[in-house]
Structure 1
Amino acid sequence: MQAEVGDRIHIQTRAVGMQSRVGEIMEVRGPDGTPPYLVRFSDGHESLVYPGPDCVIEQRSAED
């Protein structure tokens, strides 16, 4: 998995009653765009994320 600053990460959940989370990648700490990623979620919370198989990276558009 590779990402750049500004990309969005979607974290799905299989747990009943829990919502999927979406956040913006603020910092890429691995070499060549690999994890871990510092992510800011919509509620303002920041967390270091090591994405698993339930995560999808949405690359930022060229318009941003």
Structure 2
Amino acid sequence: MIAPAPAGKADPAPRPEATGTSMRARVGDEIVVRGTSAGVVARDGEVVGLHHPDGSPPYDVRWAENGRVTLYFPGPDAYVRHLTSAPPGPGRGGSGRRS
């Protein structure tokens, strides 16, 4: 028999929209890398370029902390926060780097 979930406990952290192997991003989405403490964001940035038309990693990311654009392969501590409404598709691939 499976016990019911405890009542009255709210989930303290919002669920990420895309993580791990299911991770898909679009230009304009945000990459968030979790910190070592609960609720702490270690790093975040904007996806400015895709290398695959389906939105799979790696991504060109402009990091909020310094504005530097790097090629980023997300690890298990990262997730995508979708901020745009257009799905990935033709015309969204390539480096998409902005100056």
Taking structure 2 as the reference length, the TM-score comes to 0.54
How far has the Cα of 1:14 moved from its partner?
Answer: 2.3
Gaps of 5+ in 1: none
Number of positions where the alignment pairs a residue of Structure 1 with one of Structure 2:
59
Match of 1:50 in 2: 73
* Alignment partners' CA distance in 1, 2:84 and 2:29: 9
Secondary structure in structure 1 of the residue aligned to 2:54: helix
Secondary structure in structure 1 of the residue aligned to 2:74: coil
Gaps of 5+ in 2: 1-22, 86-99
Mapping 1:1-64, distance limit 5 Å: 1-14=23-36, 20-42=42-64, 43-62=66-85
Taking structure 1 as the reference length, the TM-score comes to 0.80
Runs of 4+ aligned structure 1 residues displaced above 3 Å come to: none
Q: Identity over aligned residues, as a percent? A: 39
Say what the alpha-carbon RMSD is for the aligned residues: 1.7
AA in 1 matched with 2:62? R
AA in 2 matched with 1:36? P
AA in 2 matched with 1:54? D
**Higher RCO by CA contacts (8 Å cutoff, separation 6 or greater):** 1
